[in-house]
Copies of this chain bind each other. A is one copy, B any other.
Amino acid sequence: MKAHVYVTLKSSVLDPQGQTIHNALRKIGYATVEGVRQGKYFVLNLAGGVTSEEARAAVEKIAREVLTNPVIEEFTYRIEE
């Protein structure tokens, strides 16, 4: 079982990396892109015997306590059976 965790900066937090990518894209001609935000992506491989509820609970705890800085970031996740 795999868990995919997506960590992004809160929308109220400036994202200079995303802004830089956006500027670069504009310079090389991608006018259709109106904004870029960069985040982090984690794939967790979970042990075989875990139920999907246990996985959900563990992943949510890990994402909240280890992978995310709750002051400036938020996360979503997806469990892949």
Contact = CB atoms under 8 A, between A and B. Distances in A.
A47 B21 contact: no
Interface residues of A, number: 33
8 contacts: A32-B50, A32-B54, A36-B42, A36-B44, A38-B41, A38-B42, A39-B41, A40-B41
Interface of A: 6-8, 18, 21, 24-25, 28, 30-47, 50, 54-55, 58, 62, 66-67
Contacts of A42: 18, 21, 36-39
Contact of A41 (B6, B28, B31, B47): B6
Given A38-B40, A38-B41, A41-B38, A32 B8 contact: no
